[in-house]
Amino acid sequence: MTRARRFQRLAAPEALAWLQAHPQALVLDARQAHHHAQGRLPGSLRLDGRNHEGLLLSQAKDRPVFIHCYHGHASQTYAEMFADFGFVQVCDLIGGWEAWCQAGHPIHV
């Protein structure tokens, strides 16, 4: 028996529109710190194995969450964790940072 996914996967064009529609979203970057420092989604926070627990416990469960990584694989795992923890609106980026940049979307340096 397979479990239904409880988070939404968004392609880069959909993700930009979703982020614009949810300016209060918690935007999380699951890439390594030096890549995050070189360029990131505006307003994003680093997400790693040391701070995820604090974020899970400190954020309101009704706050939208958007997660991305390099290619869209690790972000699925993190998105599932946030959904499992009770966050009601969780999204991840299909194709990750690479897809975001290829789409020409804004980045913060």
In the 8-state DSSP scheme, what is residue 3? P
Spatial separation of the C-alpha atoms in residues 38 and 15, rounded to whole Å = 21
The burial of 71, by beta-carbon neighbours within 10 Å (0-12 exposed, 13-18 middle, 19 or more buried), is given as middle
Residue with tokens 């505006």: 42
**Catalytic pick among 69, 79, 83, 93:** 69
Catalytic site residue 69?
yes
Spatial separation of the C-alpha atoms in residues 66 and 47, rounded to whole Å = 11
Which residues are marked as active site? 69
